[in-house]
Amino acid sequence: MLAVLVNGRILTDDGVVDGKGLLIENGRIAALVDAAELPADASVHDLRGGWLVPGFIDTQVNGGGGVLFNDAPTAETIAAIGAAHRPFGTTGFLPTLISDDLSVVDQAMRATEAAIAAGVPGVLGIHIEGPFLNAKRKGIHDAGKFRVIDDAALALLGSLKAGKTLVTLAPETTTPDMVRQLTDAGVIVAAGHTNAAYGTMRRALAAGLTGFTHLFNAMSPLTSREPGVVGAALESQTAWCGLIVDGRHVDPAVLRIALRTRPLDRFMLVTDAMPTVGMIDKSFDLQGRQIHVVDGVCVDAHGTLAGSDLDMAGAVRNAMAMLGLSLGDAVTMAATAPAAFLGLSAQRGRIAVGQAADLVLLDDALQVQATWIDGLVA
């Protein structure tokens, strides 16, 4: 099956390409071709002068479309979350389970396998955010669910048979050896909800930890005598840092400073999205607590942040408006960087020959007009 996308401004590694068509064959990008070279048997999609960019990859999606992954860890829930985020440019995502019992973690992992087997569009694996966290930095997580990683948990976390497994943990609650065992089992390990000292964090990085979940939020800060988790993150030139760019989780000035400390392509835009994304109703129940959206962020009755009402297209616009980034740099953080973090650079995150045809069409206001996942448009 051949399709060609024409009359668009195509954002590639080499810059913006005008006047060419993007050829899709069997779900992958086959070529950039001149008008005279368009195959006669290809279906044609007119982009009407819009921006064609790589599909956004969100590594932290708790919910959307009125559903929360924890409430019903099933393939149907994953499909509903993906469908809610796709209109906002998310073509790849990790459904994210916040701290819960290991039986629920098991259900969520099996649901992820089932969703991938069923061909649910966009699901790339699972993000298990806790329960291996520090109660001193618990945020909205239920500290009653927290536990340490033992052999049983290690076996479970390494058991996913399809897709990627990302685990957020507090390094001070475990050992570098356990971090190494997780990475040897194919698990991607990130630090979050952690009060680790700088030295502890450095040892975890040396053991194979490669990510920081929602940088600055729920972690020990950078101070004059103790660099903390933030200091270790900003010093590292290789680990990836997730950023919630909504103007509320982190002050934009702090994010602008952070971007000057390390390579841009080691920062990722994430939403930390909750069920309210894509919904008129801006409230939901989280493990017995009522959560409301106030000024664009989700909070409980005490004002504790409980994820966000952010979508990826909004995160891209915010990165440009609040952080002064170009569209190309914002898209790098929304697509290219998370693909690299997940080890998927050869398949996703760029507009290049051989890549999966995961694409987003934006108008001049950077509103999403269409998305393609594996070459199929919606």
Task: Decide if 293 is inside a domain.
Answer: yes
Residue 22 belongs to what domain range?
A: 2-53+355-377
Task: Decide if 106 is inside a domain.
Answer: yes
Residues 166 and 69 in one domain: yes
In terms of Cα–Cα distance, which of 293, 286, 305, 300 is closest to 70? 286
Residues 300 and 371 in one domain: no
What CATH number does residue 42 fall under?
Answer: 2.30.40.10
Task: Decide if 347 is inside a domain.
Answer: no
In terms of Cα–Cα distance, which of 205, 181, 180 is closest to 194? 205
Residues 130 and 104 in one domain: yes
Residues 59 and 47 in one domain: no
d(CA 354, CA 358): 11
CA distances from 307 to 16, 42, 112, 207 (A): 34, 43, 21, 29
User: 153 labelled as ligand-binding?
Assistant: no
In terms of Cα–Cα distance, which of 372, 350, 353 is closest to 361? 372
CA distances from 197 to 177, 194, 335 (A): 17, 9, 31
User: 225 labelled as ligand-binding?
Assistant: yes
d(CA 171, CA 160): 22
Task: Decide if 349 is inside a domain.
Answer: no
User: 188 labelled as ligand-binding?
Assistant: no
d(CA 182, CA 208): 9
What does the pLDDT profile of the chain (378 residues) look like in tens digits?
A: 789 999 999 999 999 999 899 999 999 999 999 877 888 888 899 999 999 999 999 999 999 999 999 999 999 999 999 999 999 999 999 999 999 999 999 999 999 999 999 999 999 999 999 999 999 999 999 999 999 999 999 999 999 999 999 999 999 999 999 999 999 999 999 999 999 999 999 999 999 999 999 999 999 999 999 999 999 999 999 999 999 999 999 999 999 999 999 999 999 999 999 999 988 888 888 888 898 898 878 888 888 888 899 999 999 999 999 999 999 999 999 999 999 999 999 999 999 999 999 999 999 999 999 999 999 999
User: 81 labelled as ligand-binding?
Assistant: no
What CATH number does residue 129 fall under?
Answer: 3.20.20.140
Given a contact cutoff of 8 angstroms between Cβ atoms, the answer to whether 348 and 55 are in contact is yes
pTM of the model: 0.97
Is residue 272 annotated as a catalytic residue, yes or no?
yes
Residues 216 and 328 in one domain: yes
What is the 3-state secondary structure of 171-198? HHHCCHHHHHHHHHCCCEEEECCECCCH
pLDDT of residue 88: 98
Residues 44 and 186 in one domain: no
User: 141 labelled as ligand-binding?
Assistant: no
CA distances from 168 to 15, 26, 94, 129, 291 (A): 34, 35, 13, 5, 23
Please give the helix or strand (H or E) that residue 68 lies within, else none.
strand 67-68
Q: Please report, in angstroms and rounded to a whole number, the separation of the first and last CA atoms in the chain.
A: 17
In terms of Cα–Cα distance, which of 297, 304, 301 is closest to 271? 297
Task: Decide if 330 is inside a domain.
Answer: yes
In terms of Cα–Cα distance, which of 219, 203, 169 is closest to 189? 169
Task: Decide if 35 is inside a domain.
Answer: yes
Task: Decide if 350 is inside a domain.
Answer: no
In terms of Cα–Cα distance, which of 105, 115, 102, 103 is closest to 74? 115
- Pick the catalytic residue: 58, 246, 272, 358? 272
Residues 190 and 225 in one domain: yes
In terms of Cα–Cα distance, which of 229, 253, 252, 251 is closest to 241? 229
d(CA 196, CA 199): 8
Q: Is residue 223 exposed (0-12), middle (13-18) or buried (19+ Cβ within 10 Å)?
A: exposed
Residues 265 and 329 in one domain: yes
pLDDT of residue 294: 86
282-296 pLDDT, tens digit per residue, is 888 888 889 889 887
Q: Is residue 28 exposed (0-12), middle (13-18) or buried (19+ Cβ within 10 Å)?
A: middle
Residues 84 and 107 in one domain: yes
Domain count, the chain: 2
User: 249 labelled as ligand-binding?
Assistant: yes
In terms of Cα–Cα distance, which of 117, 233, 97, 224 is closest to 165? 97
Residues 26 and 71 in one domain: no
Alpha helices in the chain (DSSP H): 75-85, 102-117, 151-157, 176-184, 198-206, 228-235, 252-259, 312-323, 327-331, 337-341
Residues 82 and 8 in one domain: no
Task: Decide if 45 is inside a domain.
Answer: yes
Per-residue tokens: 277: 């994304």
Residues 154 and 192 in one domain: yes
